[in-house]
Amino acid sequence: MKDEPIMGCAEENPEEKPKCNPFGTRFLTDDAKVFEHNAWDDVEWSEEQQEEAKRIVENQKTMKVDEEKALKLLSTPADQWDAFYAHNENRFFKDRNWLLKEFPELDVNEECNLQKETVRILEVGCGVGNTTFPLMQVNNSSSRLFLHSCDYAPNAIRVLKSQEAYDTSKMNAFVWDITQPAPEESPAAESLDYIVCIYVLSAIHPDNIRKALNNLISLLKPGGTLLLKDYGRYDLTQLRFKKDRLIDGNLYCRGDGTLVYFFEMDELESLLNEHGMEKKVMHVDRRLIVNRAKQNKKALLRLSCESLKFRPVFDEILLDKELKKMKNDPNIGGSVDLLYVLMYETLVGSGLNRCSQELKSVISRRSQKIKDVEKELEADGRGIKSIKEAEEGAKKIIIPRYARINTLKWTAEEAMKTLETEEWKLQGTAGVENFAEVVGNMKEDEIYVDPHVENLLIFAPNIQNFHEYWMVEQRYLILQDKASCLPAFLLNPRPGSQVFDTCAAPGMKTSHAAAIMENQGKVWAMDRAADRVAVMKQLLDGSKVAIASAFCGDFLKTDITDKKFSKVNHRKIIK
């Protein structure tokens, strides 16, 4: 018996790089081209990145899950997933349409399957069918394919079986906790060609993984294949966890109580060897994920703002007879702004280690002189330290994070219930009289309801990486400032009415109007920038807006007497 790709995909030589398409063939050879693709394969970490990952995990150990809560989660892992599917049903995970790219063996017409009368597959941890149905579809529901699907959450199997595409002549879905003996509905021993485990073993307590593997492997034919894909140590998912998520070692719990374990490759290989598996391919997919839309705008914005904060110091430094020559350095290309950034990193930031040699040379030849001039300025109260102290003494304005419940995807009640399930602390409606004081003292896990705008929630100002939270990523919550919520709220269009939204991109106010209208009626959403209209269309689609017509145009040149606009009874002109 053989095992197949683990935590990635590769050719039969485990030393080779993976060759899946489109992923697996994109290798970053020029850092300047990092934003040309969304992801790069086989990117080795620097020593600094490895040390940073270790530091994050060590810090997590100081904020472990309460022992009593951990024991409860470990004793009933299936209950957590069952509750998850009872609430989310088939609205959460996306279909795995990439299956054949990483596991071509699952194609019944692949050469390795042509001699088989029937290809029998067991998908473990099937959920509501995000692998089951795409696998059937990509094989054109072939009569040569029979697919068993199991999950230890009864609600997941219920939802899967209720779908129209479920065909009992080609499918068999059943409940099974794979750490326990196989039930009657399971396939017979030594009857399967393939077993697919995608993010399954990581959902099991490490002490029970051997039992699970033993139960699964007993169902494989001699020479059958186990296809695995799972979380590796220091995965981004692991490093994003905050307090009350680490249980022990490399075992964590998510906000909904489900478990997740992060493997070392040697650890997983050893487990499989214990069960007599012959390694065909094993590969760690070290993938660099790039936000092309933002191109690290958050970090760039911070760097720009910080550099400008100390500009008075830099301008004084550049008055020096010797140092003003830096402005004409050919490596700068005449950009004084770039020079500000280089001086900021030298005097305030993390240094120039990540700069090219050309840019580094602009400063390095004169670094001591720069520092000496800055010291003279500081002695006169005009240096870096003086600006920092002045900033610390200034009164800070605290602005909370606002997120609007997207009622096109779920109700406010469902949102509140789910937030409570994920251990957010709902504090009710914020008071108007002491609003600033309440917001200023909010804890990171607290939520208030805005006292004015319906379905608007208030989160702590200091909440970290909120844009990466699943409710935000999937647009169940829409990050939207209160001021941006006011136009649609005050307009208050009735369901069935028609609204003309000018300067509509990127679409926050448009989606808000559609939500107030309960997706009934029409919203004409116009913007004169074609690229912003394209972004708006994606946003509206992801927000489940069904009544918007987004188009590119200049409102000042629009014929408002056009017949198609004749039923418009609300206009929103906000820029």
Residues 378 and 117: their CA atoms lie apart, in Å, by 82
CA dist., res. 449 & res. 426, Å (int): 8
Residue 18 DSSP class: P
Q: Provide the H-helix boundaries in 282-329.
A: 297-309, 311-317
CATH match for 401-479 among 3.40.50.2020, 3.30.70.3280, 3.30.70.1170, 3.40.50.10680: 3.30.70.1170
pLDDT at 293: 58
- What is the model's pLDDT at position 573? 53
Q: What is the 8-class DSSP label of residue 35?
A: G
Report CA dihedral (287, 291, 295, 300) to the nearest 10 degrees. -90
> What counts of helices (H) and strands (E) characterise the chain?
21, 21
CATH C-level class of 2-10+66-283: alpha beta
- Give the number of other Cβ atoms within 10 Å of residue 43's Cβ: 16
Neighbour order of strands in the sheet with 477-479: 425-429, 446-449, 456-459, 401-405, 477-479
In this structure, are residues 461 and 399 in contact, taking their beta carbons and an 8 Å threshold? yes
For 352-369, give the DSSP string: STTS-HHHHHHHHTTHHH
Contact 270, 279 (CB under 8 A): no
* pLDDT per residue rounded down to tens, the chain (575 residues): 333 333 333 333 334 443 444 445 677 766 556 667 777 777 777 777 788 889 999 999 998 988 888 888 888 777 777 777 777 666 666 788 888 888 999 999 999 999 999 999 999 999 888 899 999 988 887 889 999 999 988 999 999 999 999 999 999 999 999 999 999 999 999 999 999 999 999 999 999 999 999 999 999 999 999 999 999 999 888 988 888 899 999 999 887 788 899 999 899 999 999 988 888 888 887 777 766 555 566 677 788 888 999 999 999 999 999 999 999 888 888 889 999 999 999 999 888 877 888 888 999 889 999 999 999 999 999 999 999 888 876 666 678 999 999 999 999 999 999 998 888 999 999 888 888 888 888 988 999 999 999 999 999 988 877 888 889 999 999 999 999 999 999 999 999 999 999 889 999 999 999 999 999 999 999 998 888 899 999 999 999 999 999 999 888 888 878 888 877 776 555 54
Q: Tens of pLDDT along 172-225?
A: 999 999 999 999 999 999 999 999 999 999 999 999 999 999 999 999 999 999
Q: And the tokens for 546?
A: 């069904």
Neighbouring residues of 339: CB distance < 8 A, sequence distance ≥ 6: 314, 318, 326, 327, 332, 362
Would you state the pLDDT for residue 554?
A: 86
Asked if residue 80 lies in contact with residue 259, where contact means CB atoms within 8 angstroms, the answer is yes
Distance CA 107, CA 113 (A): 8
> Facing residues of 522 across strands?
498
Sheet holding 259-261, edge to edge: 246-248, 251-253, 259-261
Q: Which residues contact 534 (CB under 8 A, 6 or more apart)?
A: none
CA–CA distance, 125 with 200 (Å, rounded to integer): 6
What pLDDT score does 432 carry? 84
Tokens of 27: 């290798």
Residues of the chain with CATH 3.30.70.1170: 401-479
Q: Which residues pair with 552 in a beta bridge?
A: 527
Instruction: List, as residue ranges, the binding site.
Output: 527, 554
Residue 80 CA neighbour count, 13 Å, CB half: 20
- Residue holding tokens 């998908």? 123
Q: Cite the annotated binding site for S-adenosyl-L-methionine by residue number.
A: 527, 554
Quote the longest CA-to-CA distance of the chain.
Answer: 87
If DSSP codes are grouped into helix, strand and coil, which group holds residue 173? strand
Which stretches does DSSP call E strand in 328-400? none
| pLDDT (0 to 100) of residue 3 | 33
485-573 fold:
Rossmann fold (3.40.50)
Residue ranges, CATH 3.40.50.150, the chain? 2-10+66-283, 485-573
Question: Where in 134-191 does DSSP place strands (E)?
Answer: 145-151, 171-175
How many CB atoms are closer than 10 A to CB 319? 9
How far out from the chain centre does Cα 411 lie? 23
pLDDT of the residue at 467? 85
Residues in the chain: 575
Separation CA 203–CA 78 (nearest Å): 10
